[in-house]
Amino acid sequence: MERRGFIQGMAALAAYGALSGRSAKAQSLDKKAIDDMQKNWKALLADGTPPVTTTPPLKLGKDEWRKRLSDIEYNVLRDEGTERAGTSPLNAEKRAGVFVCRGCDLPLFTSAMKYESGTGWPSFFTTIPGAFNKKTDYKLVLPRTEYHCVKCSGHHGHVFEDGPQPTRERWCNNGVALKFIPKNKA
């Protein structure tokens, strides 16, 4: 990781701690509301969307991925890179809809799962069940939980235990790894 990127990341984390930018929406939800949200996410999609758990894996070669993705998208999704904090227009996205994987269009999060974390990356306090696989990442020496799309294995970000109640999770996602589908277009 470049020194400048590391310093920017550390500054974003410090700002997050100082701001405690958790939304009232996320703080006011209880466990039952989270469970209902995870079960009813398909209401935001068009009829006929397959359940996450029945989606077959997408396996493409490097050249096919390079044709499908921009350089920064490829770096994040295929090489486990990170976009600069504060650069994604999805940070400000507030419409109802679904966030899908940029690599394969698998539904990952709904707009109701998103909150303002103050980190500079789109953040979510839960996911659509079955959307991700997790692994431990030691790139910054200390262990972090990294997550990847279950369909295309694309890297999306890291999950931390400093999010809002009741999950206490912050799914910190690279914006370039996502596409947003507004409810009226789903």
Please identify every residue annotated as catalytic. 172
> Apex CA 74: angle with CA 72 and CA 78, to 5°?
135
30, burial (CB in 10 Å: exposed 0-12, middle 13-18, buried 19+): exposed
Residues 58, 144: Cα–Cα separation, whole Å: 26
The helix (H) or strand (E) run that includes residue 65 is: helix 62-68
Q: Where are the beta strands (DSSP E) in the chain?
A: 97-101, 107-110, 114-115, 123-124, 132-137, 144-149, 155-160, 170-173, 178-182
Cα separation, 92 vs 89, in Å, equals 6
